Amino acid sequence: MNKIKAGIINVTGYAGVELARILWQHPNVELVSVTGRSAAGKKLGEVFPHLAVTGLTITAELEGKIDVAFSAMAHKASAEGIVPLLNKGIRVVDISADFRLKEAAWYPLWYDFDHPAPELLKKAVYGLPEMHRALIKNADLVANPGCYPTSAILALAPLVKQGLVEPDLIVDSKSGVSGAGRTLTLPTHFSEASDNVRAYSLGGHRHLPEISQELMLLDASKNVSVTFVPHVVPMTRGIESTCYARVKPGKLSGGKEELDKIYYDFYHDEPYTKVVQQPPESKHTLGSNLCLLYPAINQKTGRVVVVSCIDNLVKGAAGQAVQNMNIMFGLPETSGLEALPLYP
């Protein structure tokens, strides 16, 4: 089988460089082109010494024959760059938010721009394999999910799908500083982030409509209300989401045993979403494409609590993008993603 020729748009961001690391080792992929306008003309190894083995030169635009392009650009710019690629017949996995939401009217509200290609929003497939694997298979454009939504949706999906909980859901998430990207800002300055925990976007984080949209698809009543509060914690990478839901009357009378069975049955065939026997920690997923889930129930208060952990740069970005590519090209879903987490 000929190798898939892949290109990365904006390799110099955290998601882009993680993509390069994974794709270079992928047995079915040849990474042939990487872009980064500020670093155009430099060897990839000059910018990231750990990738010197690739021998690639960063260019301003993708070069050569490309079968699949991964866009790791900022929102709006990503959509503008993707349209010409699709017109050339190149399949695309977009790591930005530009095609995740299905309503064009939501982009001015949440991302402060008018969508440049609204006609593609219905065509794009939301790239969460656990929910949309069949659609991803034949997609030309996959919208890679956000990191927070990945952890939250996977944590709550079994409860919402089976109508076990009330519609008022709470997601409390903690993320490493890399989630903010490589652009320098005061909140990500070492002196600001170290020894500190900071909640932000309490008036509505831009990942909130994405979480709500996908959970709404699972809920027969289409009645889901999500409170989402993200926090930055002093670590480089990883997300821990603690999700809360109130049990509907008469549901989950079997307690923890019944709850565990629901989660095991829901995810039993999934290669990367695993139900574990103790609350996971962010470091348990470090460097891997895993999402680890631990559901619990307090029958005195009638609440379910689900702990969800991912690496925000792998299952929350580059790893999930490669998982989507594998599905799109009919490869084994785990190709190039077999690495176990780093610990400690």
| Per-residue pLDDT of the chain in tens (344 residues, 90 and over written 9) | 799 999 999 999 999 999 999 999 999 999 999 999 899 999 999 999 999 999 999 999 999 999 999 999 999 999 999 999 999 999 999 999 999 999 999 999 999 999 999 999 999 999 999 999 999 999 999 999 999 999 999 999 999 999 999 999 999 999 999 999 999 899 999 999 999 999 999 999 999 999 999 999 999 888 999 999 999 999 999 999 999 999 999 999 999 999 999 999 999 999 999 999 999 999 999 999 999 999 999 999 999 999 999 999 999 999 999 999 999 999 999 999 999 999 99
pLDDT at 184: 87
Tokens coding 299 = 């029958």
pLDDT at 221: 86
Co-location of 153 and 119 in the same domain: no
Q: Is the Cα torsion angle 333, 336, 340, 344 positive or negative in sign?
A: negative
Co-location of 308 and 206 in the same domain: yes
Q: In 203-294, where does DSSP find H-type helix?
A: 208-218, 255-267
Please check whether residue 342 lies inside any domain of the structure: no
Residues with catalytic annotation?
Answer: 147
CATH of the domain at 104: 3.40.50.720
How far is Cα 28 from Cα 31, in angstroms, rounded to an integer? 10
Q: Which residue reads 């879903």 in tokens?
A: 333
Boundaries of domain holding 203: 148-312
pLDDT at 335: 98
Please check whether residue 268 lies inside any domain of the structure: yes
Please check whether residue 52 lies inside any domain of the structure: yes
Please check whether residue 135 lies inside any domain of the structure: no
Helix axes 147-161, 208-218, angle to 10 degrees: 20
- DSSP annotation of 57 reads B
pLDDT at 222: 84
How many structural domains does the chain have?
A: 2
Co-location of 191 and 117 in the same domain: no
CATH of the domain at 152: 3.30.360.10
How far is Cα 40 from Cα 45, in angstroms, rounded to an integer? 12
Co-location of 28 and 173 in the same domain: no
Please check whether residue 337 lies inside any domain of the structure: no
Please check whether residue 336 lies inside any domain of the structure: no
Please check whether residue 215 lies inside any domain of the structure: yes
Strand order from edge to edge, sheet including 225-232: 198-199, 225-232, 168-175, 239-246, 303-310, 291-298, 273-275
- 305-327 CB burial, b ≥16 within 10 A, e <16: bbbbbbbbbbbbbbbbbbbbbbb
pLDDT at 76: 93
Please check whether residue 138 lies inside any domain of the structure: no
